[in-house]
């Protein structure tokens, strides 16, 4: 019985050490993902086409209501077309509601507010992104779903 208690203490101690070690790592990953999303908004809003696609994995499958599924190439082409539109300017601001990290995968629940000028049209786009930590150490979106919220922006 004494050996059983020692084994239980060892397992409990090991679990505590693992939790202590993983807590900061998970927080660092969540912070890195948040930073990548904010940097993406800055890059898009500044018209930096080369940088905006770095947020996406080459394995991307995205689904935006009304546009259907798109892969990496198609999604990047659509974003570049928006940046190049001479008649309108598109600006994104993210509201990150939640980041959940589990190993090399993470889920982000967020709202993007898109402002289109002229006209100062505001559209809220709720969505969910699935990130994967890729071999180069960068978190990239492998899947996302988003839709345009009906009615005026909040």
- The domain segmentation of the chain, as residue ranges, is 2-146
Nearest-CA neighbor of 51 among 40, 62, 60, 61?
40
35-88 pLDDT tens trace = 999 999 999 999 999 899 999 999 999 999 888 899 999 999 999 999 999 999
Residue in this structure with the two tokens 């559209």, named with its chain if needed: 123
Q: Is the CATH code 3.40.605.10 the one for domain 2-146?
A: no
pLDDT: which is higher, 20 or 44:
44
Phi/psi of residue 121, nearest 5 degrees: -80, 130
pTM for this predicted structure: 0.80
- Say how far apart CA 154 and CA 151 lie, in whole Å: 9
Burial label, 131 (beta-carbon count in 10 A; 0-12, 13-18, 19+): buried
What pLDDT is recorded for position 93? 97
What pLDDT is recorded for position 8? 41
9: its two tokens:
């203490």
Task: Assess whether pLDDT exceeds 90 at residue 147.
Answer: yes
């Amino acid at each position: 019985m004494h050996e059983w208690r020692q084994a239980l203490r060892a397992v409990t101690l090991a679990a505590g050490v693992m939790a202590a070690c993983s807590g900061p790592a998970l927080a660092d990953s969540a912070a890195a993902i948040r930073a990548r999303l904010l940097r993406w908004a800055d890059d898009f809003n500044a018209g930096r086409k080369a940088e905006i696609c770095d947020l996406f994995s080459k394995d991307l499958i995205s689904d935006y209501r009304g546009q259907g599924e798109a892969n990496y190439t198609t999604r990047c082409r659509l974003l570049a077309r928006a940046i190049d539109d001479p008649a309108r300017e598109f600006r994104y601001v993210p509201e990150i509601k939640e980041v959940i990290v589990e190993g090399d995968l993470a889920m982000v629940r967020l709202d993007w507010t898109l402002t289109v000028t002229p006209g100062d049209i505001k559209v809220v786009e709720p969505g969910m992104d699935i990130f994967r930590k890729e071999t180069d150490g960068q978190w990239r979106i492998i899947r996302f779903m988003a839709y345009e919220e009906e009615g005026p922006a909040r």
